[in-house]
Amino acid sequence: MSAPPKFATLPDAIAAYREGRSRRWAEVDGWQIDLEQAAAEASRVRDEPAVIGVSADEAVMALVGRPAWDRMVGDSVARELARTSEVLPELAVPSEPPPDASANRCPWCSRPWDGAP
């Protein structure tokens, strides 16, 4: 069995197959490809570029640049922290320190003494 013809790009291989200058199987970039199936897929897929999954944040970052984006995010976080610190109550301050948990434990194995909490 002979080796399939080699092509530089897939569109060149598909064009040669449609014109009858090539067999159904060809090698493109080291891969053996079924040109009949590739032609069917190429006709099914649109050639226009599509933008998929770009969020508004990514679009703004692309427009203003990374350093400006980092400053904008930092300013936004600082504003939000300032706003929430006014809304949240003060943290509770204990009137007495918590009991020493190590006082009721064995100094060698750290297991609680009998009857200790």
Domain ranges (residues) in the chain: 6-44, 56-87
pLDDT in tens, the chain (117 residues): 578 889 988 888 999 998 988 888 999 888 888 988 888 887 775 555 555 666 777 777 777 787 888 888 889 888 888 887 666 666 666 676 666 666 777 778 877 777 655
Give the pLDDT confidence score for residue 65 in this predicted structure.
80
Give the pLDDT confidence score for residue 91 in this predicted structure.
64
Type of residue at 94: P
Give the pLDDT confidence score for residue 54 in this predicted structure.
61
Threshold 0.85, pTM exceeds: no
Give the pLDDT confidence score for residue 111 in this predicted structure.
79
In angstroms, what CA-CA distances link 56 with 28, 50, 59?
Answer: 38, 16, 5
HSE (side-chain half, CA atoms, 13 Å) at 22: 24
